[in-house]
């Protein structure tokens, strides 16, 4: 488990230009976050690696970018207009709002801890508040005297109500009439509605998949834990279409692919991850299998990535609502069917948070404490920091910065002592520093310092770019 606290992560993000509070000069907008210079680069690098691994390096995947605003019928067909809601409950005394199912989950986890026999533990583990009616959730909240988690004193619960999580807006049709539309709560539906277009234009044979990255919006009842749960966030989603009956093996392959991405590409620590297969009573009615990849956040195990076998539910629903044919003719077996789909869906901003927590390192060295981000060099926001030992040699240092900036995202810094500058670069996870001094420059050399070991090496200027390129792979 990572020993870092959320407070340390939030401080790092705000002090080192990763993430700022949104609309800060106007007293902020709660739960809105702006990504600063290093945050934007880190987010972009994670996204590009995801595209590289899941699209560029495979011959069965394509990328698309659908609009955020879609015809409202899309959300009727997908079930979001009627079903995309959470049970909310208010404490009448404090006027605070909570998700009833989450409060009940906490109660159940306390009950599980207290259960002394295997039989009791088994009984408790079968309680799934998410699947209970609103009446049952209200009744249990009151019967068990569930406390307000913020005050631990007062609680006087209203009845649980359904609260649709989609943000509504209006698109003007004429001067005074507006059609109600929604900000998309997920990117996935943009892939289903384009299924026929993609089939026609790409002439792909099943199995194949489509990937999409983009913003999604959910009017969450209880956003929080910094950027973990926000109302505006980015998702990276895949819909992988396969033949009915091959869905379970395809689901297993995607579990493996996502595992490799987290462990081998992003180098997330294995002990901080767990794969949780949904039990039959947790599965959605249309799903044959669903796995949540959970991460051990400083506030507990929570979902990072969901991998769902959604069968033919979505394509069928859109066929019915749009009255368009979304079936596939398989030329090999000479048969027509509606493909099944596997959906690996991960929040880019949630994965961003995971990379920071997982790489946050505190080291005791020479009686000094060193904090740094042990980010994989591939996702580090700045790859090389260029620093002249003294300001006045900028005439020789600036051309070296230019030479490196041709190939890598670099920064130039000539303020403060070299030691202080190193500490700052380490803190944001810069894997290499290139230090320039007149003496070595006369021999056409510079010093390269490594973030993790802090070791230094003299390198010829003419070989510098290649030296770093090899180490970034
Ligand atoms: P959660 O239970 O955490 O609300 P979910 O099961 O509703 O998530 P999905 O609808 O499966 O999530 O969305 C897929 C992924 O999108 C999640 O695994 C998560 O990484 C990300 N995600 C979902 N909601 C949010 C949010 N409000 N803020 C940030 N990321 C989110």
Q: pTM for the complete prediction?
A: 0.91
Would 6-81+166-358 and 85-164 be classified into the same CATH topology? no
Give me the pLDDT at residue 116, please: 87
Give me the pLDDT at residue 364, please: 85
Reduce the DSSP state of residue 5 to 3 states and report it.
coil
Q: Which residues of the chain have pLDDT under 50?
A: none
Kindly report the three-state secondary structure assignment for every residue of 391-408.
HHHHHHHHHHHHHHHCCC
Give me the pLDDT at residue 174, please: 66
The minimum-distance atom of ligand 1 relative to the CA of 235 is 16
What the block records as the tokens of 402 is 């230019």
Exposure string of 380-418, with b = 16+ CB inside 10 Å and e = fewer, is: bbbbbbbbbbeeeeeeebeebbebbeeeeebbbebeeeb
The minimum-distance atom of ligand 1 relative to the CA of 237 is 14
For ligand 1, the distance from its centroid to the CA atom of residue 347, given in whole angstroms, is 6
Give me the pLDDT at residue 1, please: 56
Give me the pLDDT at residue 455, please: 95
CA–CA dist 447, 452 (Å, integer): 16
Q: Is 254 left (phi over 0), alpha (psi -120 to 50) or beta?
A: alpha
Among 306, 348, 352, say which to mutate for ligand 1: greatest number of ligand atoms within 8 Å of CB. Answer: 306
Domain 382-472 top-level CATH class: alpha beta
**Structural domain spans, the chain:** 6-81+166-358, 85-164, 382-472
Which CATH number is associated with domain 85-164?
3.30.40.230
How far, in Å, are 240, 245, 384, 456, 465 from residue 313 at the CA level?
A: 13, 14, 48, 57, 51
Task: Give the domain 6-81+166-358 fold.
Answer: BirA Bifunctional Protein; domain 2 (3.30.930)
Q: Residue 202's beta-bridge partner residues? A: none
Give me the pLDDT at residue 269, please: 97
Report whether the peptide linkage leading into residue 207 is cis, meaning its omega lies within 30 degrees of zero. yes
- Owner of token pair 């490594």: 450
Residues sharing a CB contact under 8 Å with residue 421, sequence separation 6 or more, in sequence order: 385, 387, 413, 415, 433
Among 235, 239, 308, say which to mutate for ligand 1: greatest number of ligand atoms within 8 Å of CB. Answer: 235
Query: Is the CA virtual torsion 386, 392, 393, 398 positive or negative?
Result: positive
pLDDT (tens digit per residue) in 377-409: 999 999 999 999 998 899 999 999 999 999 999
CA–CA dist 189, 184 (Å, integer): 9
């Amino acid at each position: 488990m990572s020993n870092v606290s959320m407070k340390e992560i939030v401080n790092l993000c705000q002090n080192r230009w990763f993430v700022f509070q949104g609309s800060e000069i106007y007293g902020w907008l709660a739960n809105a976050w702006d990504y600063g210079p290093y945050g934007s680069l880190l987010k972009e690098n994670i996204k590009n690696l995801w595209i590289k691994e899941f699209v560029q390096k495979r011959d069965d995947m394509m990328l698309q970018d659908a609009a955020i605003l879609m015809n409202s019928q899309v959300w009727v067909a997908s079930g979001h207009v009627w079903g995309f809601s959470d049970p909310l409950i208010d404490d009448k005394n404090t006027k605070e709002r909570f998700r009833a199912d989450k409060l009940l989950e906490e109660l159940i986890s306390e009950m599980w801890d207290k259960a002394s026999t295997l039989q009791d533990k088994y009984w408790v583990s079968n309680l799934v508040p998410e699947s209970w009616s609103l009446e049952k959730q209200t009744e249990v909240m009151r019967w068990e005297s569930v406390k307000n988690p913020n005050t631990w004193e007062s609680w006087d619960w209203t009845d649980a109500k359904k609260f649709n999580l989609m943000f509504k807006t209006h698109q003007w049709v004429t001067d005074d009439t507006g059609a109600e539309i929604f900000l998309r709560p997920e990117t996935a539906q943009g892939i289903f509605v384009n299924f026929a277009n993609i089939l026609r234009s790409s002439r792909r044979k099943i199995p194949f998949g489509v990937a999409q990255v983009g913003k999604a919006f959910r009017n969450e009842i209880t956003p929080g834990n910094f950027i973990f749960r926000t109302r505006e966030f980015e998702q990276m989603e895949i819909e992988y279409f396969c033949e009915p009956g091959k869905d379970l093996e395809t689901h297993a392959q995607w579990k493996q692919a996502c595992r490799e991405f987290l462990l081998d590409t992003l180098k997330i620590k294995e002990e901080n991850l767990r794969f949780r297969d949904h039990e039959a009573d947790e599965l959605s009615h249309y799903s044959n299998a669903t796995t949540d990849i959970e991460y051990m956040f400083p506030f507990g195990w929570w979902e990072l990535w969901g991998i769902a076998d959604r069968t033919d539910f979505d394509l069928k629903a859109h066929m019915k609502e749009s009255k368009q044919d979304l079936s596939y003719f398989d030329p090999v077996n000479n048969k027509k069917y509606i493909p099944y789909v596997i959906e690996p869906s991960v929040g880019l901003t949630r994965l961003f948070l995971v990379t920071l927590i997982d790489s946050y390192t505190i080291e005791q060295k020479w009686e000094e404490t060193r904090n740094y981000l042990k980010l994989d060099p591939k996702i580090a926001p700045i790859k090389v920091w260029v620093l002249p030992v003294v300001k006045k040699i900028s005439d020789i240092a600036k051309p070296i910065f230019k030479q490196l900036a041709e190939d890598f995202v670099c920064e130039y810094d000539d303020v403060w002592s070299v030691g202080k500058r190193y500490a700052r670069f380490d803190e944001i996870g810069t894997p290499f520093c290139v230090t320039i001094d007149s003496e070595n420059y006369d021999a056409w050399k510079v010093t390269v310092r490594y973030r993790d070991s802090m070791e230094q090496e003299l390198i010829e200027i003419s070989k510098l770019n290649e030296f770093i390129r090899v180490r970034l792979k």
